[in-house]
Structure 1
């Protein structure tokens, strides 16, 4: 499924601010709505478990969408594919705005995620299309840095919108943003894929089948997916822990969600800084191990009735720091375990991340105590991650992975 990257045409330009906007829009709709779960649940007559499914289905939509848009854009072009996805995102946001029932909202959220996945997939693809080989890594790093602000600020914005104007104000904002994105993409975004190819479903299926049969890749993918999404159960339960248990106002929920972005950023920065000095696989165990330790502390603190605001902040920060440490190392190991299939491996890895996140947000809905449920699911995810990493590391040399010796970053 991978092809030689063609030289970008110097005359093709795409506004970086627009690529940032479409890229962050995919996850923004998930994070911005999270603080409003209790308010929307009360308005729609839905239980906390039912409202948590609005997060689960959104993650599911992002998972499947990322598998679709890449191959489609390789065939019909980036511009029409992105416009199609943004159009779906806009229409679904309108339906969510006027949702009269939970079922209506769930369907709208799933469609919104399927549309939003186009921005995540194609924003990065367009950067690869228009950047020279010497600049593509720097440009992608800048894009990732800028889009990291979105998930961090979205819950804060959502908290204030929901607290001041009601939960539907969030969808008024998303409809306005989606409308602006569609118009700007239509007017300003050129076609950047100059090397389109036929859509070969058979080859795509064979590539994915080869990856699933690669024990080393599969271990790193499952481990990386579970360790990097151990924060998702917290995102789904934070409104009920912060507002319901700790009795803080709705407007404060977003700040607790933003802690996850800070922790993950610190963890990722730590890995990037030290990866050349230490074995890459060490970060897998350190990151997942730190997250597991914090999940166990979370469970113990809640069981003893000791949970308070400073303790919750400390646990969340350290747990997500572990997520941030393991995530880039897991992705690096997974991609290097599948030479010649980097594009397919990246798509399948992204699908695995979203699938693990969906599983986590689904499982937390089964418990009566949100904090206990969150801690138990986080323990489950991090134990699976450590086991998968162990299997992957033990599968050296058997699946076409990278040479043995010191791991490359």
Structure 2
């Protein structure tokens, strides 16, 4: 295999690995109402699976990052995929248990049994495990073994940095809105608006918001300050959050779709800039800092999605009101701190 073919394969494998967590995070959300009925648990309890997922994700970001620096990225990647595969096999055998995911999940649940979602994830994890074992190169040739003292020093440095804490909260809010929508949408669109599981494919709206947001960011990058781009994104998210309350209240599906697109357009204008600027002062310890930073905002996401499960009542207005509260709270904090 020549260098060009190897490069294409590496890029394709990298794209699969990047998209894998997003698919995993969202693929089972369309079947939440079905799971709630099948397992005879409340809607709020079934939504807790989303929060638990992010707590586990937070621990994974922290632990796997440090271990990959010490032992290499390929063996840790393979171990993580193996644990993920075993977890899905356990779910499939148990009787008690970010845009393309909901589409796949909805279609699987519509045309097959809801457990086919876990079969799909098992197959995907198996394919990735084999591809990574055979084709993934080791990119961490210089192993680093961080001492406990090194890790504690970076943790304290991050916790004292108000800019980093604000960015972590902003990232958490944006992701919480996304995954609160994923967890609430099946109940709103299926139970309240009486759409079938396969008919409410809002993942397309989120994808369009992501693509359009990326285009806007690229267009503004040269001539607009980071703070102004972030402020624009949050303003759009707040405006469409207000609009969404009226569209959900009137049960106008077309206008609901527009409001959802607008919310995620705003998020995808602001979020990339925040991610880009968050750790610019931590290049000297970027490996540890990235892991700890990810742990911080994934824990926050877990808390914010937990609140969504607690306040879930089945009322169609709960999601848009909570989204507006998060967006307004974040906009106030961003406006107070203009260090971008």
TM-score under structure 2 length normalisation:
0.90
- RMSD (Å) for aligned C-alpha atoms: 2.2
Judging changes above 3 Å, is the alpha-carbon distance between structure 1 residues 187 and 194 closer, same or farther for their aligned structure 2 residues? same
| 237-246 vs 288-297, greater mean Cα deviation | 288-297
Does the Cα contact within 8 Å between 1:299 and 1:376 map onto a contact in 2? yes
| Distance change in 2, residues 1:388/1:57 (3 Å) | same
- Return closer, same or farther for 1:370/1:329 CA change in 2, 3 Å cut-off: farther
Of 252, 256, 277, the residue aligned with 1:333 is: 277
What runs of 5+ residues in structure 2 fail to find an aligned partner? none
Q: Does 1:270 align with 2:216?
A: yes
Paired with 1:64 and 1:177, the residues of 2 have a C-alpha distance of 23
Once the 2 structures are TM-superposed, how far is the Cα of residue 34 of structure 1 from its aligned partner? 1.0
Residue 74 of structure 1, aligned match among 34, 46, 69? 69
Question: Residue 367 of structure 1 aligns with which residue?
Answer: 312
Higher relative contact order at CA 8 Å, sep ≥6: structure 1 or structure 2?
A: 2
> Contact 2:247/2:256 (CA < 8 Å) preserved in 1?
no
Q: Say if 1:228 and 1:326, in contact at 8 Å, map to a contact too.
A: no
Matched, 1:206 2:153: yes
Q: Is contact 1:228–1:353 with CA below 8 Å preserved after alignment?
A: no
Give secondary structure in 2 for the equivalent of 1:15: helix
Match of 2:105?
158
Residue in structure 1 matched with residue 165 of structure 2 by the alignment: 218
Bigger mean CA deviation after superposition, 30-39 or 286-295: 286-295
Question: Contact 2:167–2:278 (CA<8 Å) still a contact in 1?
Answer: yes
1:294-305 alignment, distance < 5 Å: 294-302=240-248, 305=249
Could you tell which deviates more after superposition, 338-347 or 307-316?
338-347
Residue 389 of structure 1 is aligned with which of 317, 334, 340? Answer: 334
* Aligned-pair CA distance for 1:172: 0.8
The structural deviation recorded for 1:228 is 4.6
Asked if the contact 2:247–2:259 (Cα under 8 Å) also holds between the matched residues in 1, the reply is no
Aligned to 1:260: 206
Distance 1:68 1:288, change over 3 A: same
Matched pairs, number: 334
Q: Which residues of structure 1 form unaligned runs of 5+?
A: 1-9, 106-150, 397-406
**Are the aligned partners of 1:97 and 1:168 in contact in 2 as well (CA < 8 Å)?**
yes
Runs of 4+ with >6 A deviation: none
What SS is found at the alignment partner of 1:171?
A: helix
Question: How far is 1:337 from its partner?
Answer: 4.6
**Per-residue deviation, residues 288-328 of structure 1 (Å, max 9, x unmatched):** 122122222222444xx412210110010000001001101
| Aligned residues of 1:223 and 1:385 also touching (Cα < 8 A) | yes
1:181 aligned residue (114, 128, 131): 128
The 1:208–1:272 alpha-carbon spacing in structure 2 relative to 1, beyond 3 Å, is farther
The answer as to whether partners of 1:360 and 1:377 remain within 8 angstroms in 2 is no
Q: Deviations over 1:326-346 (max 9, x none)?
A: 101212232235453434443
Quote the residue 2:301 is aligned against. Answer: 357
Shift of 1:379: 2.0
2:36 aligned with 1:38: no
Cα distance change on mapping 1:388 and 1:67 into 2, 3 Å: farther
What's the counterpart of residue 49 of structure 1? 44
Report the secondary structure of 1:360's partner residue. Answer: helix
SS at match of 2:139: coil
CA contact 2:176–2:305 (8 Å) conserved in 1: no
2:220·2:229 contact (CA, 8 Å) conserved in 1? no
Query: CA offsets, 1:86-144, max 9 Å, x none?
Result: 1100000101112212xxx3xxxxxxxxxxxxxxxxxxxxxxxxxxxxxxxxxxxxxxx
Does the CA-based 8 Å contact 1:246-1:308 persist in structure 2? Answer: no
Q: Secondary structure at 1:251's aligned position in 2? A: coil
Distance 1:222 1:242 in 2: 29
